[in-house]
Amino acid sequence: MTTDKIFPGTMLYLMRHGAIEATEQKRFVGQIDLPLSLHGRKQAGWQARCLMDIPFSGVWCSDLERAYETAAIVSRDRGLSIISAPELREINLGQWDGMEMTQIRRQFPDLWQARGEDFSRFRPPGAESFADLQQRAVPFIRNIAAQSAGNILIVTHSGVIRVLICHVLQMPLSHLFRIHLDYGGITLIGDINGMSQVRAVNLSPALLTTDDLT
């Protein structure tokens, strides 16, 4: 599919939601509905200040709590309604959602191996693949752009942003984890001179200290 002019007349500000509470062991987090941590709310506040001079014509977000809360902080005092949508949710991880990676490796060794062999199309039990996620999220974001003009803020999740970047760059999904996205980071995608372009990736508060995010 060609990516020419898929975002005519718009600039998409795609923001990953702020940080959630960290756990000692790394775990899979998909559509389990977790709130922001205090640090995540500070990251959202920092981006709100950075974006205060950018006029947005619309604000969209995933309907998961961490994304909606981030969008509410960033768009506060703008007089804009936030439109939430399940199509902007993170990848559905099914039975694995919320499980620690060490537990998954131990409980599902064969499936874990299959994931490593083709993670872009692999589906955990009852879940989506990243290819499924791309087919869900990209047409929805294209529709947002088609009915909008100007700058649009979309607060969503790292998986959604990564599969969209892969789509615009016509990059295989097998490379999506080469794209690093911090909590609270912003990616810019717009139509420039008749071609959709990734203008910036991961404009992020991550390098600031916690004291800076006050």
Q: Record the tokens describing residue 32, joined without a space.
A: 């389990």
DSSP state of 178: G
- CA-based nearest residue to 205, from 39, 21, 54, 88: 39
Per DSSP, the three-state class of 183 is coil
Q: Where are the alpha helices (DSSP H) in 2-147?
A: 38-50, 65-74, 101-107, 109-117, 130-146
Distance from C-alpha of 89 to C-alpha of 79, rounded to nearest angstrom: 24
- Closest listed residue to residue 14, CA positions, set 129, 172, 142, 135: 142
Q: pLDDT at position 4, please?
A: 46
Domain 10-203 maps to which CATH number in 3.30.70.260, 3.40.50.920, 3.30.360.10, 3.40.50.1240? Answer: 3.40.50.1240
In the chain, where the domains are located: 10-203
CA dist., res. 3 & res. 25, Å (int): 39
Encode pLDDT of 124-136 as tens digits. 999 999 999 999 9
pTM for the model: 0.90
Token reading at 172 = 């295989």
CB 71 within 8 A of CB 59: yes
**Residue % of the chain over a pLDDT of 90:** 79
Give 1's pLDDT tier (boundaries 50, 70, 90). very low
Confidence of residue 121 (pLDDT cuts 50, 70, 90): very high
Average predicted confidence (pLDDT) for the chain: 89
Calculate mean pLDDT across residues 71-84: 95
pLDDT of residue 23: 74
Tell me if 59 sits within 8 A of 18, measured CB to CB. Answer: no
pLDDT in tens, 85-103: 999 999 999 999 999 999 9
Q: Tell me, what's the pLDDT at 7? A: 59
Q: Residue 206 pLDDT more than 70?
A: no
The predicted-structure confidence for 172-190, as pLDDT tens digits, reads as follows: 999 999 999 999 999 999 9
